[in-house]
Structure 1
């Protein structure tokens, strides 16, 4: 069975997403470790990815933890600095696939307002053939439902799809549905996989 669409995660596949690295650069590693121990910032972000309002959710958390008020608000106010830089080779691969008429979908844990904001900085986020953004779907990876929703909306499933993501749990959930998968550990490995699958040649994958 031939691949009918290529599915990209976004964070750490197309755009680097390293909040800890950002905070280390701004407040220092020791203080960052203390903050992350005191405040479950990733759980806060999961709420955003589930469709809760970006600003309201983060500012509410800042009010709940006054000792970390200004630092938590940075998650919102300086968010684009955390969601950077672009992984240029991955973006080129996305464009190369589409240039050959191969549909490219997103499947991403991303908030509604934060995605719209990111797209003002990264126009390629508006270039997917189909968008599957968790904030709009009210479910996040690796829940089976988000994969089911993509299948139902696209009319594709199993080996029709090849999916790359940087998280092993998200890959395992796709494996369980029979998707072809690639654990993203860097753009060159992904490029090599696309060549191996016959989707791109070496020049197109450069």
Structure 2
């Protein structure tokens, strides 16, 4: 089988760590964080942002609706860059090694319009994709089939032309269903090894 024609990266937990629970454990303690996450579905709140709703409006409305945890919930907006950290350096090196070899590289990411713009102020590599497919602009989030179809339509690539790394099994399953080559991301070395196995990078380039 020939090598894939393009590589698709998720961003959260592939290029940038995204562990809100870890942030809140450090800020308010594990017990209060657990109570807050039981009282309000903050990940569902974030999905609304990733679907294109206003970042501030969604978070602040949730804070107003949950006064017991209002100050903490507002941190999701006011300190968002402290939630979305640190960068995953080895993955970024892989992105750049692919670009150096003129392999097309795309992002396919659940990210809000405002949060992606905010992330770009800190993470310069977010401007290094051939194209970033950002759910907030597309008004659909993974693992809905439509977001994968939109990438295919825009790039003219499909099936085994594409190899996709994502940390969530449901997102990988949706890509599998379209015939994409996929890698369930756990740590960057495994992704590096897969890119070597697919013939896209040498072991030295993937180091």
- Give the TM-score category using the shorter length: over 0.9
Q: Deviations over 1:131-189 (max 9, x none)?
A: 10000000000000000000001100000000000000000000000000000010000
Q: Structure 1: how far apart are the matches of 2:75 and 2:153?
A: 37
Query: Which residue of structure 1 lines up, in the alignment, with residue 124 of structure 2?
Result: 123
Runs of 5+ in structure 1 lacking a partner?
none
Runs of 5+ in structure 2 lacking a partner?
none
> Please, what TM-score do these two structures have when normalized by structure 2?
0.98
- Residue pair 2:3, 2:199 contacting (<8 A) in 1 also: no
Query: Which residue of structure 2 lines up, in the alignment, with residue 11 of structure 1?
Result: 12
Shift of 1:60: 1.1
What RMSD over aligned residues (CA atoms) do the two structures have, in Å? 0.6
Q: Deviations over 1:11-58 (max 9, x none)?
A: 000000000000000000000000000011011000000000111111
Query: Which residue of structure 2 lines up, in the alignment, with residue 145 of structure 1?
Result: 146
What does 1:67-146 correspond to in 2, within 5 Å?
A: 67-146=68-147
Q: Structure 2: how far apart are the matches of 1:44 and 1:172?
A: 23
- 4+ long deviations beyond 3 Å: none
| Secondary structure of 1:181 counterpart | strand
Query: Which residue of structure 2 lines up, in the alignment, with residue 58 of structure 1?
Result: 59
- Residue pair 2:3, 2:198 contacting (<8 A) in 1 also: no
Tell me whether 1:164 sits opposite 2:159 in the alignment: no
Q: Structure 1: how far apart are the matches of 2:80 and 2:132?
A: 21
Equivalent pairs counted in the alignment come to: 206
> Please, what TM-score do these two structures have when normalized by structure 1?
0.99
